[in-house]
Amino acid sequence: MGAAGAGRAVTEGVSYSFSSTFYRSFTFPQDQVHAAALQALQAMQITLKKDEARPPGYEIRAATKDLKITVTLYPLTPNLTQIGVSAKKRLVMRDLTVAAEIMVQTEKILGSAL
């Protein structure tokens, strides 16, 4: 699947809330999704600020020059994990394209683990 196809596949399976946080579920254990999200941020050269367990999930905080990014992970079952990604620009603006790209890259990393 090409990059455009991968992006389309992710956005078709993604919903977002009123807070402009993208949500998606992956059929992988939470620890595997957590590792893939961290790897995706690193590959995109997004600076990791904080990675902490927030039982029963995780909260990852990261940043670029202009964005503050939050990634949350929540286990729905032992093999189903919900991920939420928010990219804030200034006080009220959100960058949905960056949040979606983090999802795309996380999915690619998980797909390569199969």
Calculated CA dihedral for residues 107, 24, 37, 101, nearest 10 degrees: 70
pLDDT at 17 over 50: no
Residue boundaries of the structural domains of the chain: 22-112
Task: Kindly report, residue by residue over 41-79, the tens digit of the pLDDT.
Answer: 999 999 999 999 999 999 999 999 999 999 999 999 999
pLDDT at 91 over 60: yes
pLDDT of residue 114: 65
- pTM comes to 0.82
CA atoms within 13 A on the CB side of 21: 15
pLDDT of residue 16: 43
Pick the CATH number of 22-112 from 3.40.50.1380, 3.30.310.80, 3.40.50.720, 3.40.720.10: 3.30.310.80
